[in-house]
Structures are given as C-alpha cells and as structure tokens.
C-alpha cells in the first residue's frame, strides 16, 4: 500500500474512532497480545448489541483521543502494536473487565511457554489410533499402550513441573490429548468515562468484593470518628444530638441544675432522695 493510501486509511480510522468516542459514554482500551483470532471473534460476538469492538494502531487511537480532547498520555506503547477499543453506552470499563474475567477460555500450551503450576495428564482412554503417536506420548514421559485398538494412558503423570518451559514434544502431545492447561482472557489497559476520568488497569482489575469491603470498613471508621469526636455529618447528626441530650440530662440530674425540660425528672430524683433519707433517719 502506498504512503498516500496508508495516510488516507489512517485519517478515515481517526475520524471513525473520534465519531464513536463522541457517541459513547465509555471507552476501554485492551491488549490484544497473545490472543488468537477465534478468541477475539468470540468476544466480539458476545458483546454485540452492548458495545462496539474495534482494532486500531496506537497512533490512530492517540490522534482520535487528541481530536476528542481525551487524555492520550496513557498510551505509552509501541505505535506498531494494534490495540482493541471497546466503546459502549451501557458497559463501563469495570464491567467490561468483569465480562472478560467471566469469559476466560482454556487454551493449548505452546512450546517455550513457562508454567506456573504442574501440568498433569490423568490415566485415560483416548481415541488416538496406534502409530507414531504412541512413540510421541512415551517420549513426553507418559506410560502408554494400545488397548482395544486405541492408545490408552496407563497412569497419571506430570509432564512439566511448575516453573519449567513447555517442550515442543509436550506441547504436541497435550494437543493430541486435547488437554488445554492454560487460560486466556482479554486484559484492559485502561478505561475512560464521558467526564474524561482515566481508570488504570490496576483499578479495573480490583476485586469488587474486596473493594466493597474496604468501603464498608472505611464508612464504619468514619462513623465512629464522627460520633466520638462530636463532628456531625449527615449519618451521625441524630446520634450526636441524642448523645448530647443524654449527657445534659445526666449532668442536670446529678448536679440538681434546674432546667424546664428536666424539671420534673430533677424534682422526682430529689423526692426519691428525700424519701430515702426519711426512711433511714426515721424522720
């Protein structure tokens, strides 16, 4: 493609994305690295009707952000790396990330991939016919034999331990056995709302239950501080007034300070004391 055609294409993409940004409340930028096309297509299909899913180079996104006065300093990435942009009036960046969390998919291992846990293969019967595959399974460290015309795995085995890299042989064997030991999901890089507030990937990846628990704990502490220091806020105003009233009442009664509001109670207290003195002094 000539430079001129490339410039025209990029200009159209900038105009397209700028228009979409203006029409939608929320923008979420996602990383497409290491994601297969079938995973992306699956995500697009599930988001259809709720969000628009587009793929652009960083240069296009950056220019569109500037054109719409969106912050673009968040895109500190190589301009050659394509990124996904999800635009929606319904789903916030946080909800988009939760959607991706709930739609993780199991994927095959790749040669050279580092494992975080032991990769195991259980004892099983397979549908693999006898042949070269039997040798490959044994080379990967499996005890295998032909049973009933098919290859069977005779015992459980660990093919790759945590922290080790997947060998080409193990990767091939796992695929033959249809064992998908890894999960893949889309990871947002950032999110932006219609007020231009930027949410980092760390914020978007917060666990909602922990976040809610933190808010609850903070609220409880604020209530306690307000009540104990007599600094009224909307949630504690009635409690503080009630506490002050009780303290005033206790002071008035104990010191016999006559106030119209407490007169009856003070007189009643004085009468009780008088009757007590009369009883014990035989007056």
What is the Cβ-side half-sphere exposure of residue 195, based on CA atoms within 13 angstroms? Answer: 3
Q: CA geometry: angle at 83 spanning 81 and 85, to 5°?
A: 165
Contact 32, 83 (CB under 8 A): yes
Residue 198 burial (CB count, 10 A): 15
pLDDT along the chain (283 residues), means of 10: 80 92 91 79 88 90 84 58 89 90 86 90 91 90 91 92 92 91 84 83 73 69 83 82 77 64 64 63 56
The answer to whether position 17 is within a domain reads: yes
- One domain, residues 81 and 10: yes
Distance CA 190, CA 51 (A): 16
* Exposed / middle / buried, residue 84 (Cβ in 10 Å: 0-12, 13-18, 19+): buried
- Nearest 10 degrees: Cα torsion 134, 136, 138, 143: -50
Q: How high is the pLDDT of residue 81?
A: 74
Give bridge partners of residue 191 from the DSSP assignment: 28, 199
Q: How high is the pLDDT of residue 118?
A: 92
The answer to whether position 112 is within a domain reads: no
The answer to whether position 196 is within a domain reads: yes
Contact 253, 269 (CB under 8 A): yes
- DSSP assignment of 184-247, as one string? E--EEEEEE-TT--EEEHHHHTS-HHHHHHHHHHHHHHHHHHHHHHT---TTTHHHHHHHHHHH
- One domain, residues 97 and 144: no
- One domain, residues 37 and 132: no
What is the Cβ-side half-sphere exposure of residue 283, based on CA atoms within 13 angstroms? Answer: 8
The answer to whether position 114 is within a domain reads: no
- One domain, residues 74 and 201: yes
Contacts of 152 (CB under 8 A, 6+ apart): 124, 125, 126, 144, 145, 146
- One domain, residues 94 and 124: no
The answer to whether position 110 is within a domain reads: no
Q: How high is the pLDDT of residue 237?
A: 83
Q: How high is the pLDDT of residue 274?
A: 63
Q: How high is the pLDDT of residue 210?
A: 56
Q: How many helices (H) and strands (E) does the chain have?
A: 10, 12
Residue 153 burial (CB count, 10 A): 20
3-state DSSP assignment of residue 160: strand
- One domain, residues 237 and 268: yes
- One domain, residues 60 and 145: no
* CATH classification of the domain holding 39: 3.30.70.1730
Distance CA 266, CA 271 (A): 9
- Structural domain range at position 33: 3-104+185-206
- One domain, residues 201 and 88: yes
Q: How high is the pLDDT of residue 279?
A: 62
| Number of domain units in the chain | 3
The answer to whether position 86 is within a domain reads: yes
The answer to whether position 123 is within a domain reads: yes
- One domain, residues 98 and 148: no
- One domain, residues 173 and 50: no
* CATH classification of the domain holding 139: 3.90.105.20
What is the Cβ-side half-sphere exposure of residue 266, based on CA atoms within 13 angstroms? Answer: 16
- One domain, residues 140 and 160: yes
What is the Cβ-side half-sphere exposure of residue 107, based on CA atoms within 13 angstroms? Answer: 17
- One domain, residues 10 and 79: yes
């Amino acid at each position: 493609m000539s430079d001129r055609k490339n410039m025209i294409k990029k200009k159209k993409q900038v105009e397209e994305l700028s228009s979409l940004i203006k029409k939608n409340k929320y923008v979420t930028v996602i990383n497409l690295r290491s994601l297969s096309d079938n995973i992306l297509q699956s995500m697009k299909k599930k988001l259809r009707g709720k969000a628009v899913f587009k793929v652009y180079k960083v240069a296009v996104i950056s220019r569109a952000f500037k054109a719409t006065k969106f912050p673009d300093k968040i895109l500190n990435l190589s301009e050659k790396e394509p990124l996904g942009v999800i635009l929606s009036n319904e789903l916030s960046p946080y909800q988009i990330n939760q959607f991706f969390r709930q739609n993780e998919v199991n994927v095959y291992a790749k040669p050279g991939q580092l494992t975080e846990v032991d990769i195991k293969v259980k004892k099983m019967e397979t549908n693999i016919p006898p042949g070269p595959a039997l040798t490959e399974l044994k080379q990967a460290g499996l005890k295998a034999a032909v049973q009933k015309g098919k290859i069977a795995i005779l015992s459980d085995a660990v093919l790759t331990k945590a922290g080790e890299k997947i060998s080409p042989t193990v990767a091939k064997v796992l695929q033959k056995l249809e064992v998908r030991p890894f999960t893949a999901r889309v990871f947002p890089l950032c999110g932006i709302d219609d007020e231009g507030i930027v949410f980092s990937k760390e914020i978007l990846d917060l666990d909602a239950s922990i976040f809610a628990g933190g808010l609850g704990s903070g609220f409880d502490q604020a209530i306690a501080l307000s009540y104990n220091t007599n600094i009224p806020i909307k949630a504690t105003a009635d409690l503080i007034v009630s506490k002050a009233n009780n303290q005033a009442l206790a002071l008035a009664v104990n010191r016999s300070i006559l106030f119209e509001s407490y007169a009856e109670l003070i007189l009643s207290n004085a009468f009780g004391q008088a009757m007590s003195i009369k009883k014990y002094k035989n007056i």
